[in-house]
Structure 1
């Protein structure tokens, strides 16, 4: 099939595009051309590249026509963030494209009340990003249920992989946590360390998209959580990460007020957004309907990210990895 991947050079597309080529599909990648994929693969030589500024063209009302003009059998949209943009694309593809797959987010759910969270048991989202992702997923489900375009939405957790910083044990992107843990120094944590984060390797997300394309009938009109088989809490994550450097984590629980005084407003805000949600998800639906089988446990996925960053001078640590 001819598959158009919108945002093909990003985290997920880096792994998805080569997978689709290996599966025998004709692949067209739409991106701004601002960066290369995060990992090299020979399959990219067989990919047609289309340069487009999605945000600008959505504003001009022409992006949907650009995508439809490529005559795709399948469209994978990895960079849609508003229900207006999603609706415009649906309306342009309806009747001409066989399957639209949307990349959502687990932030379509609010704080956890019952674990693990399934596609039907999450609380209402908060924050504009999560609200928009939830609205898009509901719109797509209604579109397919009403007899319109066949759609599927997949909702990844905290994506990790080579080439970028993972969400760390404090629920933020502050690189200082890795130098602290690698040195065996005390690490202040907000709360008691039981708050959860659910990571997923980018290649496992790509696998889920590939399987949703393969199993179109089972995926039609559905939404899926896409995460690692298990989740990490703050203290477990910190102890595991310290062990990669031959250290033991020394954790000092503090109040949120104290924690905010030790870091930047940006890092503190990101920590609160992750840890307040305290997410852990079920992948039972994706396993049953798509055959989703993630290869990476969360700690293995994060370790791959950390190792890549250290090897490429993107992360300063006190001791070398022994893991």
Structure 2
């Protein structure tokens, strides 16, 4: 069972599971189809459910357990209460619970690459919740309870949605300016890292954790691209796609905020203050994780899709 199966990760994960021979149930609110077409979806049982509403009523765990899944992949759990309720309901009834966390369970970097055990305490409500869920799941399994695994993706990119761009937000203006050779304002010196990952590589990691259940039991894994991009390098690579050279103007954060929309500037701060660059050695060693996409290739695929589908206007075509 994949909870949240019609989203970014599920779009790629569910066809992988079907092709591997699994019987798959996809649970979603039913408000959209997957981001890409795949004939494997014809073999998927679709269940419509509003996770938030059913959590509030205390019945979501009953729905999941009632379908008697061998493994549950939960892609849309965001609070410790929700995760704990599901664990308690599935204990003794399901063989494996896999949770989708986030690299934001770690705070601003002190030493890179960051390992699963080597990060700083999280900041912000979202990261704090994801860290708490990961601790709870690890403790559950290591105390002899339900077998669980948590996987923590970076900034997910792929066809169908706007990626986190060189300025640490998903404001499409940056691509317009880079494609036209126009200057962009960069807060600070542009050395902060962002760690992206293609949605299909995240799907690969979840599939591998299902296959290698014993190795994954009670563990958590960072799931990111093999390398990370900093602001300056990301902008330079992005400009080169359009045959341009990036023109970067260094500004203070106050200047950046005054020249950028308040929400976009805050999103930039949230991404860049963390300065994240992660190791994937543990996932490689225990799961055989082998990401196909370098971060710039994953982002380029996203940008191409947006241009080809009329959702992004640029001054020059991608070369």
Partner of 1:287: 284
Distance 1:309 1:219 in 2: 36
Matched, 1:38 2:38: no
SS of residue in 2 equivalent to 1:26: coil
Distance 2:2 2:231 in 1: 35
Matched, 1:256 2:248: no
Deviation string 1:277-316 (CA, Å, 9 cap, x unpaired) is 0000000000000000000000000000000000001111
Distance 1:278 1:182 in 2: 26
Matched, 1:65 2:62: yes
Alignment of 1:153-172 (within 5 A): 153-172=150-169
SS of residue in 2 equivalent to 1:71: coil
SS of residue in 1 equivalent to 2:151: strand
Matched, 1:309 2:306: yes
Structure 1 residue 245: Cα displacement: 0.2
Deviation string 1:47-100 (CA, Å, 9 cap, x unpaired) is 000000000000000000000000000000000000000000000000010000
Select the residue among 107, 110, 121 that pairs with 1:110: 107
Matched, 1:272 2:239: no
Structure 1 residue 188: Cα displacement: 0.5
Select the residue among 9, 13, 18 that pairs with 1:12: 9
Distance 1:221 1:59 in 2: 27
Deviation string 1:101-133 (CA, Å, 9 cap, x unpaired) is 000000000000000000001000011000000
Matched, 1:224 2:229: no
Structure 1 residue 148: Cα displacement: 0.2
- TM-score normalised to the size of structure 1? 0.99
SS of residue in 2 equivalent to 1:189: strand
Partner of 1:194: 191
Distance 2:250 2:76 in 1: 37
Select the residue among 62, 74, 77 that pairs with 2:74: 77
Distance 1:307 1:159 in 2: 16
Distance 2:263 2:33 in 1: 27
Give the 4+ runs in structure 1 shifted more than 4 A: none
Partner of 2:127: 130
Deviation string 1:153-200 (CA, Å, 9 cap, x unpaired) is 000000000000000000001110000000001110001010000000
Distance 2:255 2:268 in 1: 13
Distance 1:277 1:317 in 2: 30
Distance 2:110 2:35 in 1: 36
Give the root-mean-square deviation of aligned CA atoms.
0.3
Distance 1:42 1:174 in 2: 33
Which runs of 5 or more structure 1 residues have no equivalent in the other structure? none
Distance 1:253 1:315 in 2: 26
Distance 2:273 2:173 in 1: 21
Equivalenced residue count is 319
Distance 2:165 2:310 in 1: 18
Matched, 1:27 2:20: no
Distance 1:262 1:41 in 2: 42
Matched, 1:87 2:87: no
Partner of 2:244: 247
